């Protein structure tokens, strides 16, 4: 994720960190002297930091991720559960400045079995197959724009608008984010829907282009 700035720990600091978290990572293990440890701050958490552990004994993909504060290790597993659990403990701090970064972080590290939503803002954000034509790339580029903050809607949810790739199609969508734990009335069914703090929902999806020559990621494995 390009918005995160990772710092590489020295070998001694990496060894000390891995020794500290080893028990809480079980049954996952990493070679203490053969793992590159990088850390990045997250603007929406005050206490937790984000770690990337690269197992240098394995070929790529070989990176595990975790959220950590002293006394708590939360391994990422490509579902929303680790993020939502930390949101309630941290707690998460969402405002206009941190919300876009949170949404990008969420969709980069949460990857469903049916596919992942890839936020694309610039042409270089789109990964193309060799079969893609210049005309196709130009059509996609016409739709791209930065994630936009739209404010808090009548449903009391934060609202962002983004362009995303899902499987081999390009969509415009609203991203709804709960600023706190709350119940929201579903406009289609009229029934209440419970949101935990930081919980997300996509609404108002608008198909822009389909049958794109882009790679479709398989279901996530251990390393994504």
Task: Tell me what pLDDT residue 52 has.
Answer: 98
CA distance 79 to 107: 10
Residue 12 pLDDT class (50, 70, 90 cuts): very high
Task: Tell me what pLDDT residue 113 has.
Answer: 79
| b/e code 155-174 from CB counts within 10 Å (16+ = b) | bebbbbebbbbbeebbbebb
The model's pTM is 0.94
Task: Tell me what pLDDT residue 1 has.
Answer: 77
Task: Tell me what pLDDT residue 217 has.
Answer: 87
Mean pLDDT, the chain, integer? 95
Task: Tell me what pLDDT residue 62 has.
Answer: 96
Flag whether pLDDT at 221 surpasses 90: no
Judging by beta carbons within 10 Å of its beta carbon (0-12, 13-18, 19+), is residue 201 exposed, middle or buried?
A: middle
Percent of the chain with pLDDT over 90: 87
pLDDT digits (tens, 9 = 90+) for 27-71: 999 999 999 999 999 999 999 999 999 999 999 999 999 999 999
């Amino acid at each position: 994720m390009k918005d995160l700035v990772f710092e590489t720990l020295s070998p001694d600091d990496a060894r000390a960190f891995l020794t500290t978290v080893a028990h809480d990572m079980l049954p996952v293990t990493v070679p203490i002297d053969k793992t590159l440890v990088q850390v990045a701050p997250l603007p929406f958490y005050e206490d937790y930091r984000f770690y990337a552990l690269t197992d240098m004994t394995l070929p790529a993909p070989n990176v595990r991720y975790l959220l950590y504060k002293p006394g708590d290790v939360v391994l990422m597993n490509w579902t929303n559960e680790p993020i939502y659990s930390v949101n309630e403990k941290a707690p998460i701090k969402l405002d206009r400045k941190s919300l876009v970064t949170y949404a990008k972080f969420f969709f980069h590290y949460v990857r469903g079995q049916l596919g992942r939503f890839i936020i694309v803002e610039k042409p270089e954000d789109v990964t193309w197959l060799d079969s893609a034509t210049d005309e196709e790339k130009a059509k996609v580029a016409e739709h791209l724009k930065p994630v936009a903050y739209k404010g808090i809607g009548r449903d009391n949810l934060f609202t962002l608008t983004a362009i995303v790739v899902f499987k081999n199609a390009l969509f415009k969508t609203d991203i709804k984010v709960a600023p706190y734990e709350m119940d929201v009335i579903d406009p289609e069914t009229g029934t209440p829907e419970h949101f935990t703090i930081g919980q997300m929902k996509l609404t108002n999806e608008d198909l822009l282009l389909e049958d794109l020559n882009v790679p479709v990621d398989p279901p996530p494995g251990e390393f994504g």
